Amino acid sequence: MNNHIKLSIFVICSLLLLLHISVQSKSLDPYKVLGVEKDATQRQIQKAFHKLSLQYHPDKNKNKGAQEKFAEINNAYEILSDEEKRKNYDMYGDARGSPGFDGGDGRSQGGNTFFRSGGPGQSGFRFSPDDWQQSTGGQHGGSKSYSFSFGGNSGGNSFGFDMGDVFSNFFGGGGMGGAGSQFGSSGGSHSSSPKSSIISISSQIYKKQVIEKGISWILLFYTPLTKGMQHYESIIEEVGSSLKGALEVGSVNCEVESSLCKELGIHPRNRPRVYVYSYKTRESGSLFEYTGDVTFKELKSFAEDHLPKFSKRVTLAQFEAESRTSESLPKVMLLSSKKDTPVIWRALSGLYRKRFVFYDTQIQDVSDPAAKRLSVGEVPAVVGWLSNGEKQILKMGIRVKDMKSTIKELSLLLDDLEKKNKKVTASSQSKKPKADSDSHMEAAVPLLTATNFDAICGEKTPVCIIGVFRSSKGREKLHTILLSVSQKSLIRNPRDSVSYGLLDASSQSSFLYGFEKSGFKSSDRLLIAYKARKSKFSAYTGDINSEEVEKFIGSVLNGDVQFSKIRQKPTFKK
């Protein structure tokens, strides 16, 4: 027996072995594997898959046969979770829709016997003597060779399976590098479903669509060596679907996007790693890793907890107290019966966090005093205020069809309110004289000097608010805030009055030593409330923004701030 014949026999035996394995796998009914009926809904199929994949996951189940069972579960879910594959299986018993076998016990065509078996859930095998094509080696002649046809998309098939099917049994289903493979996907989209909502994230997409866009993301980081990808993808996609509109879902292949993963300090190895890009603790986004069980309930709870929290939960009285702020942004408030800030409102607060000031309050119904005072006749309702204080009822009786469409509907209302506010702001600014020079700035909120200090902050002035700055940027911000506050009526007692001034700490550091030994050197910007007549002062070194500054000044005028004795009378450097 020459070498060519030996090689041919070896190839035939090997392929018959692979055929046996493939046919054996295909004989498994995916409905029976997942334990669901043939009319099961996608939700029922997902639940069954989640339960079984957790039970037989190789990382948790070390029993013999668990890994094989886990692969069967993945294969079954890959078929039933895809509408086209499921339809093909129901009709032909094959997910590809080209089964390669017919029903019946056997037929004869032209004297050549074909053996067939078929139907959903049954093994399929077809053999024809003509498939063992003998040739003389073409024009060159020589030894006989044997060829097999393996179906696929290339036309007629003899055995009813393709090489991808064979290898899928070794690598966890889904074909080489497919979504169901334990080796994951090596490139772009890797979800088993062609309609997957999981976005393949590149470094460019991460920078343009994820960072600082105000919306939360669930991100799956993996490499081709990570295991259990299909289970992770399924859970993440389901969570994303349940919170559609409030967050997005994406995946990062750290082998392809190695520089991005290295920059983020994320190195998945044996298993994928799940993160939520969140605005939970700060205005800028951050990645928070999820380390719990990969189940729908647990991951959804984690994702919801990490949605934006820029809306302030207040009572109407608290809101009215804060509404005196000089914030140039429009304000919006949600009135609902919910105990906590609704997910939709939190999502909107992230998307519009730099364009609106968000509030929400809990009321029982329209009989609530808050609803009556705001003229709200149906809840939930959204009320807006332009920067000039004008109130507008944006929406009453909000009905949530689904999260995405409701967020879109409310977004249009916010966009419209923002346009109106820009017109109001432009109109008011056109009526005011421009302060585009130091002389104009000093005329509005004067720079304190040895010459004018007694007239502005002397003993005849009950309270003098001094804005201390160390840079031109700090000066500009303090001037804008103090100018706005000075035009408001914050005085509760008519006998009280307040004056305002700016102090350049970089050239008048000795002035600050009169109040505090260190001269407040650690503060770039601060406020000092000075009562010259009583030789007392109170300092504010927190965040310098319109809201906090107005709160501090309001507290000073209401007597809610504790004053301390000055060390010595502040003096100016000559």
Domains and CATH numbers, the chain: 3-103+113-126+160-168 (1.10.287.110), 199-305 (3.40.30.10), 312-430 (3.40.30.10), 438-565 (3.40.30.10)
Mean pLDDT of 29-54: 87
**pLDDT cut 70: percent of the chain above it:** 72
Q: Is the pLDDT of residue 247 over 90?
A: yes
CB 383 within 8 A of CB 357: no
Q: Is the pLDDT of residue 222 over 50?
A: yes
* The 3-state secondary structure of 43-80, one letter per residue: HHHHHHHHHHHHHHCCCCCCCCCHHHHHHHHHHHHHHH
Q: What is the pLDDT of residue 287?
A: 94
Among 388, 241, 399, 259, residue whose Cα is nearest residue 328: 388
Helices 403-430 and 343-351: crossing angle in degrees, nearest 10, is 40
Q: Is the pLDDT of residue 352 over 60?
A: yes
Residue 270 banded pLDDT, cuts 50, 70, 90: confident
Cβ burial, residue 167 (10 Å; 0-12/13-18/19+): middle
Mean pLDDT of the residues in the chain: 77
Q: Is the pLDDT of residue 15 over 90?
A: no
Q: What is the pLDDT of residue 49?
A: 87
Query: 391-396 and 381-385 as β-strands: parallel, antiparallel, unpaired?
Result: antiparallel
Q: Is the pLDDT of residue 230 over 90?
A: no
Q: How many CB atoms lie within 10 A of CB 230?
A: 29
Q: What is the pLDDT of residue 87?
A: 86
Q: Which residues partner with 433 through β-bridges?
A: none
Q: Is the pLDDT of residue 356 over 70?
A: yes
Q: What is the pLDDT of residue 140?
A: 39
Helices 66-80 and 42-56: crossing angle in degrees, nearest 10, is 160
- Range of weakest confidence among 21-30, 343-352, 381-390, 498-507: 21-30
For 294-340, the pLDDT digits (tens) are: 999 999 999 999 999 899 999 988 887 776 555 678 999 999 999 99
Q: What is the pLDDT of residue 463?
A: 92
Residues 288-321: b if buried by 16+ CB within 10 A, e if exposed: bebeeebbbeebbebbbebbbbbbbebebeebee
For 471-522, the pLDDT digits (tens) are: 888 888 899 899 888 876 544 444 457 889 999 988 888 888 889 888 788 7
pLDDT: which is higher, 134 or 453:
453
Contacts of 214 (CB under 8 A, 6+ apart): 279, 308, 350, 351, 352, 353, 354
Greatest mean pLDDT among 9-23, 57-71, 132-146 = 57-71
CA angle centred on 525, ends 522 and 528, rounded to 5°: 100
Model confidence, pTM: 0.49
Q: What is the pLDDT of residue 282?
A: 67
Alpha-carbon 484 to chain mean position: 36
CB 331 within 8 A of CB 337: no
For 84-142, the pLDDT digits (tens) are: 888 888 887 776 665 444 333 333 333 333 333 334 444 344 433 443 333 333 443 44
In the DSSP assignment, the letter for residue 172 is T
Counts for the chain of helices (H) and strands (E), in that order: 19, 17
Mean pLDDT of 429-446: 54
Among 30, 128, 135, 19, residue whose Cα is nearest residue 80: 30
Coil, strand or helix at 469: strand
Q: What is the pLDDT of residue 432?
A: 53
- Give the Cα separation of 332 and 314 in Å (integer): 12
CA angle centred on 64, ends 61 and 66, rounded to 5°: 45
Could you tell me the two tokens for 4? Answer: 């060519």
Q: Is the pLDDT of residue 525 over 60?
A: yes
| HSE-CB for 531 with a 13 A CA cutoff | 17
CB 235 within 8 A of CB 50: yes
Q: Is the pLDDT of residue 417 over 80?
A: yes
Greatest mean pLDDT among 24-33, 331-340, 418-427 = 331-340
Count, residues in the chain: 574
Residue 4 banded pLDDT, cuts 50, 70, 90: low
CB 308 within 8 A of CB 347: yes
Cis peptide, bond prior to residue 224, ω within 30 of zero: no
Q: Is the pLDDT of residue 145 over 60?
A: no
Q: Is the pLDDT of residue 351 over 50?
A: yes
CB 447 within 8 A of CB 502: yes
For residue 460, the one-letter residue type is K
Q: Is the pLDDT of residue 9 over 80?
A: no
Q: What is the pLDDT of residue 60?
A: 77
